[in-house]
Amino acid sequence: MTQNLFAEARIHVLAALHEAVPSLPADLAARVEVTPTRDPAHGDMATNAAMVSARHAGRKPAELAAAIAAGLPARAGLAAAEVAGPGFINMRLSQDTLRAQLPVILHAGEAYGDSGVGQGERVNVEYVSANPTGPMHIGHCRGAVVGDALARVLAKAGFAVTKEYYINDAGAQVVALAWAAYWRYLQALGTKLTEEEYAVGVPGGLQYRGDYLVPVGQAIAHLHGASLAAEGAMPADPAVWLEMVRGTAMIMMMASIREDLKALGVVHDVFTSERALLDGGAADRSIERLTERGLIYEGVLEPPKGKTPDDWEPRPQTLFRATQFGDDVDRPLKKSDGTNTYFANDIAYHEDKARRGAATMIDVWGADHGGYVSRMKAAVRALAAGGESLDVVLCQIVHVLRGGQPVRMSKRAGSFITLRDLIDEVGSDAVRFTMLTRKADAQMEFDLDLAVAQTRDNPVYYVQYVHARCRSVLRNAAEMFPAAALTPEALASADLSHLTAEPELAMIRRLVAWPRAVEGAALAHEPHRIAFFLYDLAADFNMLWQTGNADATLRFLRADHPAETLARLALVAATAAVIRSGLAVVGVVPAEELR
């Protein structure tokens, strides 16, 4: 039994189209779609089949549409198919067909909407990948939620998903972390140095002054005693301690990050260490492969136009021919000291992901990496041996508001909001849902007060409210029926022909659109669509509910009409199931009741 009525109808439409136009090229057929209608007067679904193929067939769209539509109802089990507008074929499902989806939903439960479009294709979603130099803050949060919801919707759509975190543990920033952790270690030992006195001796200056490293320093002191310091808790030769401290600090930072992510419901499958990758020589091998393809040369780049850095001087560099793959300029792979650039390392990392089996790679990045997208795609294209592809989902900046006023954040002043603070204040559910109420590539404002408000303008509560209402109806129904009559399986066999009111049928139409919404969000890599679907679904249910207030014969529970009541309970239970199915994608726990 198929779950997606639109996909099913499309098969019949294509069959009818091929009879009318036997020579139709595949690329035109691929453009045929069956979509929900915007206006209920147009029926339940519409297809552009005739308009897409009229030119090729040398026929007028309306006339071709009539030919296709003629046999469609019998073939596809439709109540009607008629030509409209410039050549649409509007299709109307019979009420029985619509109602027959309720048992499908009830039997599937949260699995409703699961799809096979992904065909088990392996997708690697890499997200968060925050530098392990401090706690996660709100800037990381959006990417975490978007990436996680994207991974979930892809999995639901039938892709084989790997959720991955790339640990940037190889650069200068983790050395700076080690120096900062070492300071806390000296403090734990009772050094007489002041922070400023210590900072003078730190190459590049003392960064990461937040007190989150205090426990790290204490842990190192606990593990090693005074053995990593000179006499009197004074700094010792870095050769003695740097690697040790770096490793311990890294482990503790990553543990803290994983804890914060877990509090947000985000759990990665794979953590890949940049350092481990590079120690294995991956970057050099990637450069070798590019060289074999003739994509590496020594050259001099033009300075950026209009914004020449002060210290600019022309310099021969080892460059990758990114321009051959759609980038604007060729990109350097070697620093002047002969070591590899971060880009070179990132090429190796993406090659590694491909080697591990990812047919599609999706990177979720912050907007500040926007300028990096085209070169990374170019590199993947250059090295893709088996048609691997890379898509980058850019998450724009989040501005935090409290009471409508912007919350200013400054790292230097230490006044940035950590992810943990945010979760503690508004809760994981509100954070996750709210982060999905904008498409990723639009800037968003996150209003702390709104996220916990219990009104219609807070989508989290609006959706939760509807689920709680559904559960409440089912709880109240226990006064009319034994529990065994109210299980999803029992309700699935109710006589659904009692569902004839227009708001009831509208509700069913929304529910049956869920599998299509899942597929659309997965294929477009746009998890925010799920949040909007849930919001629309909630609005439909509230409308349906109100009709019971206006007309008592339309209430869900009617003590003197048990058969009708069971049919409506089936609709209510199916609605709750779709909400749970959707909230599972968003990563939000459905509420049984609200208080």
CB 539 within 8 A of CB 575: no
E strands, 421-538, are 444-447
Give the nearer residue to RNA in terms of CB position, either 189 or 333: 333
Say how far residue 204 (Cα) sits from the centre of its chain: 37
Helix extents (H) in 358-427:
373-383, 419-426
**203 lines the binding site for RNA (CB under 7 A):** no
Taking CA atoms, 528 is separated from 150, 432, 518, 586, in Å, by 9, 11, 11, 9
Question: Biggest alpha carbon distance in the chain?
Answer: 94
Q: Residue 549, interface with RNA (CB under 7 A)?
A: yes
Cβ at position 135, least distance to RNA in Å: 16
- Told to check if 313 binds RNA by CB under 7 A, we report yes
By C-beta, is 291 or 339 nearer to RNA? 339
CB of 225 to RNA, least distance (A): 31
Size of residue set near RNA by CB under 7 A: 108
320 sits near RNA (criterion: CB under 7 A):
no
Residues 6+ apart with CB under 8 A from 581: 109, 110, 111, 112, 113, 514
Q: Which of residues 82-111 bind RNA (CB under 7 A)?
A: 84-88, 90
Judged by CB under 7 A, the residue of 456, 487, 497, 502 near RNA is 456
- Binding part of the chain for RNA, among 65-73, 99-107, 301-309, 493-501 by CB under 7 A, reads 301-309
**Using CA of residue 546, residue 547, residue 553, residue 558, what is the dihedral sign?**
negative
Shortest approach of RNA to residue 14 CB, angstroms?
A: 15
Which pair of tokens denotes residue 567? 């049919």
Which of 444, 576, 583, 586 touches RNA (CB under 7 A)?
A: 444
Mask: binding to RNA, 110-149, rule CB under 7 A, as x and -?
---------------------x------------------
Query: Is residue 79 packed enough to be buried (19+ CB in 10 Å), middle (13-18) or exposed (0-12)?
Result: middle
Among 545, 566, 567, 574, binds RNA (CB under 7 A): 545
Terminal-residue alpha carbon distance, the chain: 39
Q: Is 350 in the site for RNA (CB under 7 A)?
A: no
556 binds RNA (CB under 7 A): yes
Is 170 a binding residue for RNA by CB under 7 A? The answer is yes
Phi, psi (deg, nearest 5) at residue 14: -65, -40
- Residue 563 within binding range of RNA, rule CB under 7 A: no
Position of tokens 């009104």?
Answer: 455
Question: Do residues 459 and 434 lie in contact, with contact meaning Cβ atoms separated by under 8 Å?
Answer: yes
Contact between 168 and RNA by CB under 7 A: the answer reads yes
Among 189, 525, 576, 579, binds RNA (CB under 7 A): 525
CB of 76 to RNA, least distance (A): 16
3-class secondary structure, 488: helix
Give the shortest CB-237-to-RNA separation in angstroms.
23
Q: Which of 223, 230, 397, 563 binds RNA (CB under 7 A)?
A: 397
Contacting RNA within 459-488 (CB under 7 A)? 461-462, 465, 468-469, 471-473, 476
> For residues 84 and 263, which CB has a smaller minimum distance to RNA in the complex?
84
Q: Shortest approach of RNA to residue 291 CB, angstroms?
A: 19
> d(Cα 422, Cα 402) in Å, to the nearest integer?
12
Segment contacting RNA (CB under 7 A): 34-42, 112-120, 206-214, 482-490? Answer: 34-42
Q: Which is nearer to RNA, 256 or 464 (CB)?
A: 464
Q: Does the footprint of RNA cover residue 48 (CB under 7 A)?
A: yes
Shortest Å, Cβ 469 to RNA: 5
Pick the closer one to RNA by CB: 212 or 342.
342
Residue linked to tokens 């700076």:
176
The reply on whether position 564 binds RNA by CB under 7 A is: no
Binding residue for RNA (CB under 7 A) from 15, 160, 234, 372?
372
Q: Residue 550 CB, nearest distance to RNA (Å)?
A: 6
Angle, alpha carbons 336-280-381 (nearest 5°):
70
Does 516 engage in binding with RNA (CB under 7 A)? yes
Q: How many CB atoms lie within 10 A of CB 471?
A: 19
Which residue from 100, 160, 407, 539 is in contact with RNA, where contact means CB under 7 A? 539
Pairing of strands 360-366, 122-126: parallel
H or E element in which residue 296 lies: strand 296-300
Applying CB under 7 A, the span of 248-256, 370-378, 421-429, 494-502 interacting with RNA comes to 370-378
Give whole-number Cα distances, 128 to 47, 212, 356, 365, 367, in Å. 40, 20, 20, 8, 13
300 binds RNA (CB under 7 A): yes
Q: Which residues pair with 46 in a beta bridge?
A: 35, 90
Instruction: Give the CA radius of gyration of the chain.
Output: 29
How many Cα atoms occupy the beta-carbon half-sphere of 148 within 13 Å? 26
Among the listed residues 58, 120, 306, 386, the single contact to RNA using CB under 7 A: 306
Q: Alpha-carbon distance 150 to 586, whole Å?
A: 9
Residues 220-259 that bind RNA (CB under 7 A): none
Cα–Cα distance, 140 to 424 (Å, whole number): 16
